[in-house]
Amino acid sequence: MSQLPGLMLQATASHIPLMAEYAANLPLGGVVLTGRDITANRLRLDFPHQEIIVDPGDWRYSFSSPSQPFIAPSAPALFDVPMSDYVSELVDAGVNIVLSPSLTIRPNDFDAVTATLAACDVVMSEHFLPTIVVPHSMLGGFSGERLCKILRAFGRAVALIAVGESRVLQTADRLSHIRQLVREGLVSHLLSIDAVLASDALASGAAGASIGLTSSLRIPRAPRVSGPHSQGFYPGVFIRSLLEIRSPSVVADWFAGSSSAPSCQSCGSLAMIDLSLPEARAKIIAHNVHALADFAAECAGVPDAFLKEWVSQERLRALTAHPTGTSSQANLALRLLVAIDHGPAGDLLVPA
C-alpha cells in the first residue's frame, strides 16, 4: 500500500468543488473524502496531485455488533455488491486507498472490534485499509491495553477514528495511548481530528492524519449524539499561530482591541470577519482549506529526524501565543500535550 504523505484534509462531497478549485496549487499531499455519496468518476480530475482516500462514513450513523461489523456497499439496483468489487471500482477511478465501511464500536464491545477486523481480513486488496471506530473510553487504561492486544494479534496496521460525547480526547492517558498505537505500528492513519492531534500523530510516525474541514469530521460524535455548534452555526477559523480552529465570535472576543489580532495574507483579518455578509461562511472555509494546506506543507518540510521536536516546540509557541487571560480556554489537547512533553514547565501553562 502506498504511504500517504503526511497531513490531509477530510471533507464530505459538499466541499469537493471548493477543495478542487484550489487543488492544482494546493500544497497538500492527500484528501480524505467521507460519505457514500462520493462518486468516483471525477475524483482524479478534481485532485490531480493529491493522494485520495475514500471513507464510506457509515460509522457516523450506525453502531456495529459482532454479527454486523459492516453495512455492505450497494449497487444502484440496491443489490449488495462484494467489497472487493466496490474497492476495485474506486481504485480504477484513481482512488489510492479505500477505508473499510466500519461502524462505530459501542463502549468496550471488544467482540465487535474482533468481528470488524475479521471482516476486513477477507478483503484482498493492497488499496483496502481496515478501519476501527472506537469511543474515547476504549483508549487508555485497561480498555486501551485490551484494544492493543487485539490489534497486535490482527497483525496489520489499521486506520483509527475516535468518537465520543466530549469535544476532545480529554485525558493525558488517552493521548498517550494514541501515541503508543501509532509508534507500535498498530495504527497507520489517524482520521477525523484537528491540527494539534494530526501533527502529533505525524510526529509519532503515522503514515497519514486527516484534519476535518467541518466540526463533525474534526470532533466526531457517536451515532445519534449531537455536538455543540458555534455561535450562528459558522465554521471555525484556523489560526495558525495558535494552532486553534475556533468560531469567529470566539476569535473576535479574544482579540478585541488587540493590535496583534491574527490575519491572513490572502484573506485579511481573521478576528474581524463580517458575518453579516452572505459570503462569510464560504470565505471561512476557503481560508481553512489553504491555511491548513500551508500547515501541512510546513510539517512536510521538516526532516523526519527533527519533526517530533519541531511539532512539540510549535505547540509550546502556540499555547504561549494565546492572548493574556485566554490560555485556560485554549484547545485542551494542546494544553495536555504541552504538559506531557515539557513536564513541570508545561504544567505551569496548563490551568488547574
The letter for the amino acid at 32 is V
Reported in sequence order, the residue ranges of 125-277 that DSSP labels E, i.e. its strands, are 128-129, 131-135, 158-163, 187-193, 208-212, 237-239, 244-246, 263-264, 268-269
- Cell numbers at 150, concatenated: 487485539
Name the β-bridge partners of 77.
Answer: none
Whole-angstrom Cα distance, residue 162 to residue 178? 10
Pairing state of beta strands 51-55 and 6-12?
unpaired
CATH number of 6-217: 3.20.20
- Model pTM score: 0.91
Terminal Cα-to-Cα distance of the chain (whole angstroms): 44
Per residue in 6-57, pLDDT (tens digit) is 899 999 999 888 888 877 666 677 899 999 888 777 888 888 888 999 999 9
Nearest to 230 by CA among 265, 273, 291: 273
Side chain identity, residue 76 = P
Tell me the one-letter amino acid at 105.
I
- Strand 51-55 with 30-34, pairing: parallel
d(CA 46, CA 42): 6
**What pLDDT, in 10s, does the model give residues 258-281?**
778 888 888 888 877 777 787 888
Please tell me the predicted confidence (pLDDT) of residue 199. Answer: 96
Q: For residue 63, which phi and psi values (nearest 5 degrees)?
A: -90, 150
Q: What is the pLDDT of residues 93-147, one digit of tens each?
A: 899 999 999 999 999 999 999 999 999 998 889 999 999 999 999 999 999 999 9
| Domain layout of the chain by residue ranges | 6-217, 231-347
Mean pLDDT score, 219-240:
76
- The number of angstroms, rounded, from the C-alpha of 185 to the middle of its chain's C-alpha atoms is 18
Mean of per-residue pLDDT scores for the chain:
86
Is the pLDDT reported for residue 329 higher than 60?
yes
**How confident is the model at residue 3, as a pLDDT?**
40
81 pLDDT tier (thresholds 50, 70, 90): low
223's CB contacts (< 8 A; 6+ apart) are 59, 60, 61, 62, 63, 104
